[in-house]
Amino acid sequence: MAPENTADILEEMDDEDAAEIANRMETGQLVEIVDNMEPDEAADLLGDIPQAQAEEVLSQINDPDEVRFLLEHPDETAGGVMTSLDVMIEQDMTVDEAICTYGIFPPILKKFIISLCRIRMVIWWAWFHCASW
């Protein structure tokens, strides 16, 4: 299977399962796969495998600094869920326009957009109900 396809599959898998598969791979094969992953996904995977194996992979990938920076933050913190990818959403864009413009978002950005929609819905609901008083 092509490294980019394997990268896509590992990115969608449960972290523990992806790490188990990565542990069984030769370093060279894992390097090719990690090079095809989004930096935040690569950091998640490398953070879940033995440190020696992760360091070996980091020493051979194309952009190790981006991944190293993300590895500095524990998984369950804001830093642990951030990504180094830049997404520019215009102030006047609707959620639909943003989704159409950028296609599939990383999971954390999907959560942000859903939260933003819920906040707007709550604000609209409060305004609507308060305005009728």
Give tens-digit pLDDT for 34-71.
999 988 889 889 999 999 999 999 999 998 988 888 88
On whether both 65 and 118 belong to a single domain, the answer is no
Domain boundary among 59, 81, 103: 81
Q: Is the pTM higher than 0.85?
A: no
Please state the domain count of the chain.
2
Q: Is residue 57 part of a domain?
A: yes
On whether both 12 and 65 belong to a single domain, the answer is yes
How confident is the model over 102-119, as pLDDT tens digits? Answer: 665 555 555 555 566 666
Q: Is residue 88 part of a domain?
A: no
* Full domain range(s) for residue 117: 95-131
Q: Average pLDDT, stretch 62-87? A: 69
User: What does the alpha-carbon distance between residue 61 and residue 42 come to, in Å, rounded to a whole number?
Assistant: 10
The DSSP call for residue 73 is S
Q: Is residue 29 part of a domain?
A: yes
User: What does the alpha-carbon distance between residue 106 and residue 109 come to, in Å, rounded to a whole number?
Assistant: 5
Contact yes or no for 53/99 (Cβ under 8 A): no
User: What does the alpha-carbon distance between residue 70 and residue 39 come to, in Å, rounded to a whole number?
Assistant: 8
